[in-house]
């Protein structure tokens, strides 16, 4: 059963070289003569040697692991992002370790610290925690990437998607369709994205057009449960914080016998894979997860290689008009 682990020393002995040489052969950095390289590789193969990742980490000080802290894995928005990053990271020989804070503000610091303890850096997706927590995490001396949140004070690198512009465009789209009474279904209050989207809605100063905010929360359940309050406003178009809320709302409206977009138009945000497959297909704002994921990883990799932190990448995107919006009756 517990076959003694084959270590670098066994290989060294078997190949008739020093452990340093074996290490060098596997590191591929320093030069080792053709012959010795062959002897080492041969011995390693014969003995079935595999480097001990943990020992490598301790000795080299690098774990080749990066932590990812997600507010909620149950949101397709995040796993699309994670999936992309997983692959980008894999290509560079890095592994991602994921923790889910379950929308709990209180859990973020501890989880973050714990992740940092086992990794070379931390990627925080849509963190809601206070900046003092971010500062403390940054104090560990390891790279920290922040996604979907603008941090000015601390010199943290970040990747952002311009939420304001497309949200405004989306709102204008409904106005151009002829809607005059809009409702904005708010998401998690502390999230930067929510703030940006709501800011876009507020910025919409068109004569004769009113925007009513309704607090929801960002989940499908929240969306469905908002149906009553939405109907009470007598609005003809609802712009939801994200796709999940929009999908929930549509289901809720259907239950009330209200048709979308016949009676009320509804929009989302994120363009999660499902948005294309709902009926009616959802008008939303496309969030380029591939780009965000790639940009995030590239910047993280840069930080790991010693880049100076503080860079900010701002990506842009546009609304996607599908079938859930139509002129009012």
| Among 296, 289, 290, CA closest to 313 | 296
How many distinct helices (H) and strands (E) make up the chain? 13, 12
Q: Which is nearer to DNA, 21 or 101 (CB)?
A: 21
Selected from 16, 117, 213, 310, the binder of its own copies by CB under 8 A is: 117
Within 10 Å of residue 275's Cβ, how many Cβ atoms?
A: 25
Q: In angstroms, what is the minimal distance from the CB of 123 to its own copies?
A: 14
Q: How far apart are CA 112 and CA 121, in angstroms?
A: 10
Selected from 5, 205, 308, 329, the binder of DNA by CB under 7 A is: 5
Cβ–Cβ under 8 Å, residues 145 and 122? yes
Take residue 272 and report the two structure tokens written for it: 């999660």
Q: Which is nearer to DNA, 29 or 234 (CB)?
A: 29
Q: How far apart are CA 297 and CA 68, in angstroms?
A: 11
Cβ–Cβ under 8 Å, residues 284 and 268? yes
* Residue 80 binding target from its own copies, DNA, none, CB below 5 to 8 Å by type: its own copies
Q: In angstroms, what is the minimal distance from the CB of 249 to its own copies?
A: 10
Q: How many residues bind DNA (CB under 7 A)?
A: 32
Q: Is 52 in the site for DNA (CB under 7 A)?
A: yes
Q: Which is nearer to DNA, 40 or 147 (CB)?
A: 40
Take residue 82 and report the two structure tokens written for it: 């994670």
* Residue 24 binding target from DNA, its own copies, none, CB below 5 to 8 Å by type: DNA
Q: How far is CA 320 from CA 91, 94, 157, 212, 282, in A?
A: 31, 34, 29, 23, 8
**Residues 34-73, mask of contacts with its own copies (x by CB under 8 A):** ----------------xxxxxx-xx----x-x-------x
Within 10 Å of residue 226's Cβ, how many Cβ atoms?
A: 24
* Residue 8 binding target from its own copies, DNA, none, CB below 5 to 8 Å by type: DNA
Q: How far is CA 55 from CA 7, 43, 115, 228, in A?
A: 10, 20, 18, 59
Q: Is 254 in the site for its own copies (CB under 8 A)?
A: yes
Q: Is 27 in the site for its own copies (CB under 8 A)?
A: no
Q: How far apart are CA 32 and CA 22, in angstroms?
A: 9
Selected from 14, 24, 125, 218, the binder of DNA by CB under 7 A is: 24
Q: Which positions lie near its own copies, rule CB under 8 A?
A: 1-3, 50-55, 57-58, 63, 65, 73-74, 76, 79-80, 82-83, 86-87, 90, 95-100, 102, 113-115, 117-118, 141, 220, 224, 247-248, 250-251, 254, 273-274, 276-279, 281
Q: Which positions lie near DNA, rule CB under 7 A?
A: 5-9, 16-21, 23-24, 26-27, 29-33, 35-36, 49-52, 55-56, 58-61
């Amino acid at each position: 059963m517990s076959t003694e682990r084959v270590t670098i020393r066994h290989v060294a002995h078997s190949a008739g070289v020093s452990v340093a040489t074996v290490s060098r052969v596997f590191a591929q950095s320093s030069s080792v003569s053709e012959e010795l390289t062959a002897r080492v590789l041969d011995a390693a193969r014969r003995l079935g040697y595999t480097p001990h990742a943990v020992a490598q980490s301790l000795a080299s000080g690098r774990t080749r692991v990066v932590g990812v802290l997600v507010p909620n894995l149950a949101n397709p928005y995040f796993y699309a992002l994670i999936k992309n990053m997983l692959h980008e990271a894999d290509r560079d020989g890095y592994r991602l370790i994921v923790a889910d804070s379950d929308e709990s503000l209180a859990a973020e610091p501890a989880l973050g610290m714990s992740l940092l303890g086992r990794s070379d850096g931390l990627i925080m997706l849509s963190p809601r925690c206070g900046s003092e927590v971010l500062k403390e995490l940054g104090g560990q001396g390891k790279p920290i990437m922040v996604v979907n949140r603008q941090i000015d004070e601390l010199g943290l690198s970040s990747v952002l998607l311009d939420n304001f512009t497309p949200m405004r465009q989306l709102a204008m789209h409904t106005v151009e369709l002829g809607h005059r009474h809009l409702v904005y279904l708010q998401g998690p209050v502390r999230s930067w994205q929510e703030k940006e989207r709501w800011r876009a809605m507020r910025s919409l100063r068109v004569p004769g057009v009113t925007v009513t905010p309704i607090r929801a929360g960002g989940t499908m359940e929240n969306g469905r449960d908002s149906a009553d309050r939405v109907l009470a406003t007598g609005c003809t178009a609802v712009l939801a914080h994200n796709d999940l809320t929009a999908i929930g709302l549509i289901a809720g409206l259907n239950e009330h016998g209200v048709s979308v977009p016949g009676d009320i138009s509804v929009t989302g945000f994120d363009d999660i894979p499902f948005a294309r497959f709902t009926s009616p297909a959802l008008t939303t704002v496309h969030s380029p997860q591939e780009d965000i994921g790639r940009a995030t990883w590239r910047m993280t990799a840069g930080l790991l290689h010693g880049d100076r932190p503080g860079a900010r990448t701002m990506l842009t995107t546009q609304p996607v008009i599908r079938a859930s919006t139509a002129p009012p009756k």
